[in-house]
Chain A
């Protein structure tokens, strides 16, 4: 295992928090990525779809900038394509059903002290931990 990335983690996390504050302050919107992505598909108006699309383009641009400056993105896949496809379906379905993900509930919801988000965060963390436990230590 690589050494914990404490400084990068905290600093990068602070940037995530800052991005959420920026979006709220400027657009009045919650930076919940699952909701933003879903809204690109299901929002009723062009304006609603457009700002979301632009946000996602920005997401990819920010990561691209990092890649440009450092040479590579710090991504190491641990699952094969079949597992990734299954995981993707579950993440998509679950975040829509549960109205949020790590950014929507975990960053924004907790920042608003939302009881729904506190509970959702505990639940997805718990199930994430249980899943990894089963995959890594029981099979």
Chain B
């Protein structure tokens, strides 16, 4: 059941990424290009996402446990440290250079474009390197 739910959640996410065009580097870089012809589309994507997730999370987290699992697995880190900030900065640079973040890149594999395979492979390599470097 958890697997069915995971698949459904993933599919809805994938549909959301494509309908919103968050999967499109033109929209992403257009949004980040504040000095050029600014494209506000991504702002509306974030607004739409938060319009649902803000109240949705509050409602869901009132329950003692999820519907199909034993407990909620929420992030436990609370410190704002250099890893968080450095990581976010590095991610931001990569996002600005390619116009892809992890979700859109994975969903973009559906396009069958070798360039996107390349990005995803590089992303996996980057994650793996970070994991090793952090000694985890």
* Chain A residues at the B interface, C-beta cutoff of 8 Å: 1-2, 4-6, 8-31, 33-34, 37-38, 41-42, 50-52, 54-67, 72-79, 81, 83-99, 101-103, 105-112, 114-116, 119-121, 123-133, 135-137
Report yes or no: A124 in contact with B88, Cβ–Cβ below 8 A: yes
Report yes or no: B15 in contact with A9, Cβ–Cβ below 8 A: no
Report yes or no: B49 in contact with A20, Cβ–Cβ below 8 A: yes
A97–B84 Cα gap in the complex (Å)?
7
- Minimum Cβ distance to chain A for residue B12 (Å): 4
Write out the residue numbers on chain A whose beta carbons fall within 8 Å of the beta carbon of B41. 4-6, 8-9
Given known contacts A16-B22, A111-B56, A60 and B91 CB-to-CB distance under 8 angstroms: no
Given known contacts A26-B68, A65-B15, A74-B18, A19 and B9 CB-to-CB distance under 8 angstroms: yes
Given known contacts A18-B52, A92-B130, A62 and B78 CB-to-CB distance under 8 angstroms: no
Query: Could you list some 17 contacts between A and B, CB below 8 A?
Result: A21-B53, A22-B9, A28-B69, A38-B127, A55-B7, A58-B10, A63-B14, A77-B25, A86-B98, A90-B94, A91-B123, A92-B125, A93-B94, A93-B130, A94-B94, A96-B130, A102-B22
Report yes or no: A25 in contact with B108, Cβ–Cβ below 8 A: no
* Chain B residues at the A interface, C-beta cutoff of 8 Å: 1-3, 5-27, 29-30, 32-37, 39-54, 56-57, 60-61, 63, 65-75, 77-80, 83-103, 105-111, 113, 115-116, 118-131, 134, 136
Report yes or no: B98 in contact with A79, Cβ–Cβ below 8 A: yes
Report yes or no: B96 in contact with A51, Cβ–Cβ below 8 A: no
Give the tally of cross-chain contacts (CB within 8 A). Answer: 511
Return the 5 tightest CB-CB contacts between A and B, nearest first: A98-B87, A58-B10, A62-B14, A12-B20, A92-B126
Report yes or no: A51 in contact with B2, Cβ–Cβ below 8 A: yes
Which of B67, B87, B91 is in CB contact (< 8 Å) with A25? B67
Report yes or no: A89 in contact with B94, Cβ–Cβ below 8 A: yes
A135–B108 Cα gap in the complex (Å)?
24
Which of B8, B14, B100 is in CB contact (< 8 Å) with A66? B14
Report yes or no: B99 in contact with A79, Cβ–Cβ below 8 A: yes
A85–B108 Cα gap in the complex (Å)?
15
Report yes or no: A99 in contact with B83, Cβ–Cβ below 8 A: yes
Report yes or no: A92 in contact with B109, Cβ–Cβ below 8 A: no
Report yes or no: B122 in contact with A19, Cβ–Cβ below 8 A: no
- Closest residue of chain B to A109 (Cβ to Cβ) is B75
Report yes or no: B92 in contact with A124, Cβ–Cβ below 8 A: yes
Report yes or no: A9 in contact with B52, Cβ–Cβ below 8 A: no
A120–B90 Cα gap in the complex (Å)?
11
A9–B19 Cα gap in the complex (Å)?
7
